[in-house]
Amino acid sequence: MAKPARDLLESLFRTAVAAAHPAQCLPPHLPDFPARGHLVVLAAGKAAGSMTEVAERHYLQQMAERGIAEDRLLGVAVTRHGYRRPTRRIELVEAGHPVPDAAGLAGTERVLALADAAGRDDLVLVLLSGGASANWIAPAAGLTLAEKQAVTRALLRSGANIGEINCVRKHLSRIKGGRLAQRAQPANVATLAISDVPGDDPAVIGSGPTVPDPTTLADARAIVGQYRLDMPESVRRALADPQNESPKPGASLFAATRYTVLARPADALRAARTRAEAAGYACIVLGDRLQGEAREVAAEHARLARELSTQRRRVAILSGGELTVTLRGHGHGGPNQEYALALAIQLEGAKGISGFAGDTDGTDGGSGRPDDPAGAFVDDTTLARAKACGLDPAAFLTDNDSTGFFNAIGDLFRPGPTFTNVTDFRAIVVDTPPA
């Protein structure tokens, strides 16, 4: 891929990520240290390590200035493997994502124990970001970790959107769907969240552990039926058990809670737009809430880019939101890489058009390693270079093997952990050649 196009696309991604990093968005919103009692920090998600690092540094300085004993600050943060940040007082646990693991289970039990022990004079500060649904894993009574892992895998393969996935998760959990706030009573609970979901709904971000849950057991059962998910019998029993219904809007337990969204996908897109305009491009922002099959959305975006090219426009097309992949093949690659592969196929080598799709957390699908690809680049040479290597792009797409395709031609993007997460970021740049 041509270096100028790649550099511009990568700069748009990094600008978007920087706007949502905890160092930028968290400090202005941190509440005062409680007058009496403890500050209990409970964090989860891909930004949990960086959010905890920033918050701990802030409070330790404040405590030193005010002569507050350090043992009044405690907590546990659970983040994805490879997303660790240095902390002094607050325990940090690395755990599985997107499939939960035993480390996450153990860390979540410590989180629940701290919530259970919180008293009226304590402040429970919940730092939440995308990935929390996998990191905070506390199976409902009668379910095992292995069964929750099986449910997660089935949901991820189904093509269900994030709201649907989290609806099922919430009704199989002892922490999700408002239950953490329930466990923390009578303490005050303040949640600071970085949104990774279309619409920034607190009930969906991290499966809403501190807010009312408007979804029901019946909704969860309907999703299982809609996607014809093969669930263990224990899971079906759990979804029929009224004891697993989540706290609902209007419940008195939420009177002592407050919730703030610190950074949104729209904030990231706004920053990228400013960067693109500074580089001389008009911008079309398709929104931060796009959903749908990655390959279908890519086809729509390719048609728009080609139309703009025929108009001899110099434009950047930006979008966010979480796309999905319905797995039918046996390859590797997340929705960003699949989008990029489908985009390249649909563009058919159209001159002057380049594109990028990447997950703002730094990894897209993959094996759960921190060095998994975040996405991929395409340009007007992608198909020609693939052909020269003897590759059939359509065959790779059919096999859901976008990672294999882009790895072979050297266009994977591996930034490593970004320590934040505001959904996917996509950019198409149209640089129409002179007549």
Q: What is the pLDDT of residues 360-389, one digit of tens each?
A: 999 997 777 888 999 999 999 999 999 999
4 residue type, one letter:
P
Residues 6 or more apart whose Cβ sits within 8 Å of residue 285:
269, 273, 318, 319
For 249-313, give the secondary structure using H, E and C: CCCHHHHHEEEEEEECHHHHHHHHHHHHHHCCCEEEECCCCCCCEHHHHHHHHHHHHHHHHHCCC
d(CA 380, CA 429): 11
CATH superfamily of the 22-138+173-212+247-263 domain: Glycerate kinase, MOFRL-like N-terminal domain (3.40.50.10180)
What mean pLDDT comes out for the span 142-160? 93
Pairing label, strands 282-285, 314-321: parallel
Question: Do 272 and 18 form a contact (C-beta atoms < 8 A)?
Answer: no
Report whether pLDDT(13) > 60: yes
Is the N-terminal amide bond of 98 cis, ω within 30° of 0?
A: yes
Per DSSP, helices labelled H in 329-375 are 335-347
Place of tokens 């740049």: 429
Output phi, psi for 137, to 5 deg.
-120, 115
289 residue type, one letter:
R
Report whether pLDDT(213) > 80: yes
Q: What is 38-82 written as a DSSP string?
A: -EEEEEESTTHHHHHHHHHHHHHHHHHHHT--GGGEEEEEEEETT
A 10 A CB-CB count for 235 gives 25
Domain limits, CATH 3.40.50.10180, in the chain:
22-138+173-212+247-263
Domain limits, CATH 3.40.1480.10, in the chain:
3-14+266-431
Query: Distances in Å between the alpha carbon of 197 and those of 1, 169, 294, 333, 419?
Result: 31, 15, 16, 20, 16
Question: Do 53 and 90 form a contact (C-beta atoms < 8 A)?
Answer: no
Token pair for residue 336? 């960003």
d(CA 87, CA 258): 25
| CATH classification number, 3-14+266-431, choose in 2.30.40.10, 3.30.300.30, 3.40.1280.10, 3.40.1480.10 | 3.40.1480.10
Per-residue pLDDT tens digits for 221-273: 999 999 999 999 999 999 999 999 999 999 999 999 999 999 999 999 999 99
Per-residue pLDDT tens digits for 170-200: 999 999 999 999 999 999 999 999 999 888 9
Average pLDDT of every residue of the chain: 95
In this structure, of 44-53, 194-203, 267-276, 277-286, the range with the lowest mean pLDDT score is 194-203
A 10 A CB-CB count for 424 gives 26
Predicted model pTM = 0.90
Report whether pLDDT(355) > 80: yes
Find the farthest-apart pair of alpha carbons in the chain and give their distance in angstroms, rounded. Answer: 72
Output phi, psi for 418, to 5 deg.
-100, -15
Q: Name all contacts of 23-30 with Cβ < 8 Å and 24+ positions apart.
A: 23/50, 23/54, 24/263, 25/194, 25/262, 25/263, 25/267, 26/51, 26/54, 26/55, 26/127, 26/192, 26/262, 27/54, 27/58, 29/192, 29/260, 29/262, 30/55, 30/58, 30/59, 30/125, 30/192
